[in-house]
Amino acid sequence: MCLGHHYSTTTSPALAEPAYAKEGCGSNDLVGRHQTVLKHFPTALSVDDFITRVEIALAGYGFTGDNTIAMSNLCRDESCMVLEDKIESVFGSCFSTHGLGGVLTCGVIGIKAGLSHSPVQGGKERYVFFTFPHIGIDSNGTVGAISRPNRAATSSACGALIACTGDLKKDGLEAASQVPGVHDPLEPEYSILKQRIARRLRHEGADSSKLDLVAVTKAAERTITSDLEFLIEKAVDPKKADYAVFSGVQIHNWAANLDDPSVPSLEFVGVGKSYVVVNGEKTYLDIHQVPALSPRQLKVLSTASLSDDASLTASSASGMVQEIPQSDLV
């Protein structure tokens, strides 16, 4: 069985090259590609697999696309729209609070604005919050790398978190841990993002000299999730509404060369917190325990949005993996 790639930990935080690739782990081996992602994000599910399990789990608690508004908090990067499109395919148009690197700057009023757009059914509102920073791990296993349509050179994701990684390693956590509320007027979102992550890592006792992009991305997810939960506490009335929260990391496992049609592009979600609050009672969800759809079921669903049924699909003990059509990456 393909076990993925091993990675050097001494390369640049921007693009961590794989040290070697085992035989059988080709870039178009969907299961092998999933295994490579799992080395860095052990809870990762293919994006279609994740969204399907979320929809099934939430249906059991009364959340549907007709009675729920989705609140999405992603990075501003256009590559993140793949995940937003998947969310909207279930819950309709999202209210977005997107920020650079996924940083939350909308405040309580911003959250309440979205909540006020919720459908009302049986006198109750329902919200589902999705919050995900993102990272590129391309088909060659290169961490931080992503190929963008119609750009010749390899690009990077997340650029803001790559910059944070470099700054925090160079300057240390203390230097970036500004007083809450203080920010650079020329770089408001980036300065807030960096100081929020720095304060979190300092509190956790992290060694800034040992940081890499994966560690900083995971720290961003923990930080932004805590910030979201704080805003939810201030904005949501559990007597009036039920809600759900799904956090994690969006992972772009796209073809290293988008001009090569033989290499599929994949998209994953590293699953973080998952829970519902119904009638004021919180229930944690184990999305991995929700049965995955079969390859046939995923293909039946995909025909609603694809012109043909040629997308690659594979299954393993880790879950379902499905190709993202290149037209969806633009």
Q: Do the Cβ atoms of 42 and 324 come closer than 8 Å?
A: no
239 found inside a domain: yes
The pTM of this model reads 0.84
> Domain count of the chain?
1
Residue 113 confidence (pLDDT) above 80: yes
Max Cα-Cα span within the chain: 58
Mean pLDDT of 292-303: 67
281 found inside a domain: no
pLDDT of residue 96: 94
- Angle 93-147-21 (CA atoms, 0-180°, nearest 5)? 120
Residue 8 confidence (pLDDT) above 50: no
118 found inside a domain: yes
The per-residue pLDDT of the chain, averaged, comes to 85
pLDDT of residue 98: 95
Domain that holds residue 46: 30-66+75-157+211-216+227-271
**Sorting pLDDT into bands at 50, 70 and 90, what band is 149?**
confident
**Sorting pLDDT into bands at 50, 70 and 90, what band is 180?**
confident
6 found inside a domain: no
pLDDT digits (tens, 9 = 90+) for 227-269: 999 999 999 999 999 999 999 999 999 999 988 888 999 999 9
pLDDT of residue 10: 33
327 found inside a domain: no
